[in-house]
Amino acid sequence: MAQIDKIANTSNRVESQHCCDCNRYTSTYQLEYTTMIEKPNFFTSKQAAEYLGYAENTLRDCRVRGILAGIKAPPYIKMGKRVEYYKEDLDNWKMQFKKITNTAQSSIS
């Protein structure tokens, strides 16, 4: 599901006084539009860390070392100083871990 930023503005009727102060009013309609901007599913470094349950510094460190939680770190995109993670990549990274129902299963690898 794509993240959607919605900027919603409505039509407003603004009454303004006539230019010569003769107590006549003119009606001015300001028409503004609802804009839907659809972005791909991506997270900033801070959002990705929160999504995965790690501190942002831990995620930053894993980009240097290439390892997070003992396995290869999730892929990211670097654009200048900006770092982005695609949600799909984070979900795929999380799917590498086994689902367990109790702590005894975690010791059986």
| pLDDT tens digits, 61-96 | 999 999 999 999 999 999 999 999 999 999 999 999
Please tell me the predicted confidence (pLDDT) of residue 109: 54
pLDDT tens for 43-64 read 999 999 999 999 999 999 999 9
Check whether residue 51 and residue 81 sit in a common domain: yes
Check whether residue 79 and residue 47 sit in a common domain: yes
Sole residue written with tokens 């993670």: 85
Domain that holds residue 69: 42-99
In a domain? residue 106: no
Check whether residue 54 and residue 90 sit in a common domain: yes
In a domain? residue 9: yes
Q: What is the pTM of this model?
A: 0.60
In a domain? residue 29: yes
Buried b (16+ CB within 10 A) or exposed e, 14-31: eeeeeeeeeeeeeeeeee
Check whether residue 53 and residue 80 sit in a common domain: yes
| Total count of domains within the chain | 2
Q: Which amino acid is at 43?
A: F
In a domain? residue 30: yes
Mean pLDDT of the chain: 76
Check whether residue 18 and residue 56 sit in a common domain: no
In a domain? residue 86: yes
Please tell me the predicted confidence (pLDDT) of residue 104: 81
Token pair for 106 = 């975690």
